Amino acid sequence: MVGAARVLDTGALLHLPPNRLSGGLVANSQRNEIARVDKDRALLIEGVRLHWRSPSDEALQRAREAAQETGDISGLSDVDMDVLAIALEHRAIIVTDDHRIQNVAGRFGVGWHPVMNEGIKEHWEWVLECKGCKKLHPPPENVSRWRRTYGSCADCGSKLKLKRGGD
């Protein structure tokens, strides 16, 4: 990880020692997220030399497409999408424990490094399955503010659940 550009996700900002944050790329959208979770940490982070960025529309679109392909998009926030897009734009490694971010990063060849956990061992894709008739549906196409709410089956009306494809 030495020498490579690093994008720090919110977990990294919250848990790594300040000296390990210095020089990292971060999304402007993460400021509010950090302040909401830990005001003291937000103040500490303001004193660290970080490179605050907003991703380009093109990079956001590429990140969104990759997240749609894996089916992870409904489990990612707008801030997560910014982190992925910045990594794409800067050809940077993402420092994250978020398995969905790791999975999407792997989809478009972006490296990642865990914060405190091991990280994912394999890449996967998600599908929606009807809880009633078990029919499979394509995964959601948008970031969801209400995780685990995927709608109802058009055939039988039962709720849909997200599951790994191929399981």
Statement to judge: residues 109 and 129 lie in one domain:
no
Asked if the structure places residue 53 within a domain, the reply is: yes
Asked if the structure places residue 161 within a domain, the reply is: yes
Statement to judge: residues 49 and 104 lie in one domain:
yes
Q: For 14-40, what is each residue's pLDDT tens digit?
A: 999 999 999 999 999 999 999 999 999
CATH number at residue 55: 3.40.50.1010
Q: For 104-140, what is each residue's pLDDT tens digit?
A: 999 889 999 999 988 888 778 888 889 999 999 887 7
Instruction: Report the 3 state secondary structure along 39-106.
Output: HHHHHHHHCCCCEEECCCHHHHHHHHHHHHHHCCHHHCCHHHHHHHHHHHHHCCEEECCCHHHHHHHH
41: containing domain: 6-113
Statement to judge: residues 132 and 65 lie in one domain:
no
Pick from 41, 10, 4: nearest CA to 23 = 4
Tally the domains of the chain: 2
Asked if the structure places residue 160 within a domain, the reply is: yes
CB 94 within 8 A of CB 107: no
- pLDDT score of 144 more than 90: no
> Cβ of 97: how many Cβ atoms within 10 Å?
18
